Amino acid sequence: MNRLSVNAARKNDAIGREVRLSGWIRTRRDSKGGFSFLEINDGSSLGNLQVIADGELRNYESEIKHLSPGSSVTIEGEVKASGGKGQATEVHAASVVVHGLADPERYPLQKKRHSFEKLREWAHLRPRTNTFGAVMRIRNRICRSIHEFFQDEEFVWIHTPIITASDCEGAGEMFRVSTLDLTNPPKTDNGNVDYARDFFGRAAYLTVSGQLEGEIYATALSKIYTFGPTFRAENSNTSRHLAEFWMVEPEVAFYELADNMALAERFLKRIVGDVLADCGEDMDFFQQRIDDTTMDRLEKVSIGTFQHLTYTNAVELLQTSGQDFEYPVAWGHDLQAEHERYLTERHFESPVILYDYPATIKPFYMKVNDDAEPDRSTVRAMDVLTPGVGEIIGGSQREDRLDVLEERMRKQDLDLSEYWWYRELREFGTVPHSGFGLGLERMVQFVTGMANIRDVIPFPRTPGNAEF
């Protein structure tokens, strides 16, 4: 007896095989002829498998006729060609073992559709819905592509730490990691909490980015990437921000900004191409049920070329666009989501890479451009903006000149001694190098068209929310 997934049993080449399948009932329909149709799903595909359970089965009256959505079963039987519409196969059950019933009075996932907000309260059951099953299969395919892309290009996967003492983005949005007694912490003579007596002998935090540690390995192994959870204690309740998200960050020695942009474009094209090639059934679902612009968006990434535009040119374009933006556009200020979306969704209708941002709005590690006017100093930053999501990638060429780096750090009031190892990378065999970070959840949003980032991660962490 072959144990098959529902996905495998739905395919033509399973016809004629005796199989064992396990999963959860989606629906049961009893026929007048004294048998029942069971729709089974095990998460291996969007579609269900139809099982025909004959009235002659030993537990037909006692158990099978009580199966309701959410009940768990193991079926043995033969896969046959199906005469039914929209399915190649069905299984004629020789036995149906019931593992557990699901009380229809209490199981929330009945025929009725629930809002995504409601489903978030049932994060333990929502993976059993069509939408969340499809999201997680796509998320998995994207992660596989990420590794395959970098491994094919000879990158080394580096595991940068989750707990760190350095603030990469310098935005002060870190979660503290401490074992001190909050009600009675040790104090220094001047009354501050004495973190020297904390677990690590110093203040420690959850990482906001693996980049700085990534740079250490890139300046030794040349091409590296880090991929893992990232934490930001920013109090933003938007459809694109999480307090815990996954980021993939390549870092490459001897790469200048143009190489970095080309890498980002190749990378996004590869992910989208893989999803389009392998996830047809799930993508049809997103196109039809979630967002009918999804396929169009993906095709633009997969075959179109990305627009490149300096920040300064983008500001001019926005200022002369005739649009009535909520936030005004001014050189030296961060672009708002509405501005980014105008550029990528309305003006260019394609992915856009903005680069050369004002130095004052970007972190200390970005390489300063030489040719800027003194009061309009820019850095070699790049953001990739995509229709539907806005900023999906942020990156830059890194400052490789020790004196310029230290001057920038002083301007941003950073304690140079804390970054002694980062500075030494510029002292010993410094090289031009570049990298970027892709937010995994924003990529899943881009691919699926899911409107809220809370619905593309299994257990979203946002201000005020850490259940499950």
What does the binding site for Mg ion look like in residue numbers (CB under 5 A)?
Answer: 394
Q: Left if phi > 0, otherwise alpha if psi is -120 to 50, otherwise beta: which for 139?
A: alpha
Partner interacting with residue 448 (select from ligand 4AD, Mg ion, none; CB below 5-8 Å by kind): none
> Given the DSSP bridges, would you call strands 433-439 and 72-81 parallel, antiparallel or unpaired?
unpaired
C-alpha closest to that of 224 among 160, 316, 311, 320 = 160
For residues 395 and 255, give the distance between their C-alpha atoms in angstroms, rounded to a whole number: 12
Measure the CA–CA gap between 28 and 36, rounded to whole angstroms.
7
Q: Which is nearer to ligand 4AD, 274 or 391 (CB)?
A: 391
| CB of residue 176 to ligand 4AD, shortest distance in Å | 17
Q: What residues have CB less than 8 Å from 164, skipping those under 6 apart?
A: 204, 205, 206, 207, 213
Residue 343 CB, nearest approach to Mg ion (Å): 15
Helices 294-303/440-448 angle, 10° precision: 120
Residue in the shown chain whose Cβ atom is closest to Mg ion: 394
CB of 391 to Mg ion, least distance (A): 6
Residue 168 binds: one of ligand 4AD, Mg ion, none (C-beta under 5 to 8 A by kind):
ligand 4AD
Please choose which of Mg ion, ligand 4AD, none residue 408 contacts, taking the beta carbon within 5 to 8 angstroms, the exact cut-off set by kind: none
To ligand 4AD, the closest distance from the beta carbon of 305 in angstroms equals 20
Cβ distance to ligand 4AD smaller for residue 70 or 395: 395
**Closer CB to ligand 4AD, residue 426 or residue 442?**
442
392 interacts with, out of ligand 4AD, Mg ion, none, CB within 5 to 8 A per kind: ligand 4AD
- Residue 330 CB, shortest distance to ligand 4AD, in Å, is 21
Nearest CB to ligand 4AD, comparing residues 41 and 397 = 397
3-state helix, strand, coil in the chain (%, to 5): 35, 25, 40
232 binds, among ligand 4AD, Mg ion, none (CB under 5 to 8 A by kind): ligand 4AD
- Could you give the angle at the alpha carbon of 17 between the alpha carbons of 63 and 59, nearest 5°? 10
Half-sphere exposure of 454 (CA within 13 A, CB side): 21
Query: DSSP of 6-64, one letter per residue?
Result: HHHHTSGGGTT-EEEEEEEEEEEEE-TTSEEEEEEE-SSSSS-EEEEEETTSTTTTTTG
Please give the DSSP secondary-structure letter assigned to residue 78. Answer: E
Closest separation in Å from C-beta 5 to ligand 4AD: 32
Which residues of this protein are in contact with ligand 4AD, per CB under 6 A?
Answer: 168-169, 209, 211, 232, 234, 241-242, 245, 247, 249, 391-396, 435-437, 439, 441-442
Sign of the torsion formed by the C-alpha atoms of 351, 355, 360 and 362? positive
C-beta of 285 vs 436, nearer to Mg ion: 436
| Shortest Cβ 128–ligand 4AD spacing (Å) | 25
Residue 48 interacts with which of ligand 4AD, Mg ion, none, CB < 5 to 8 Å by class: none
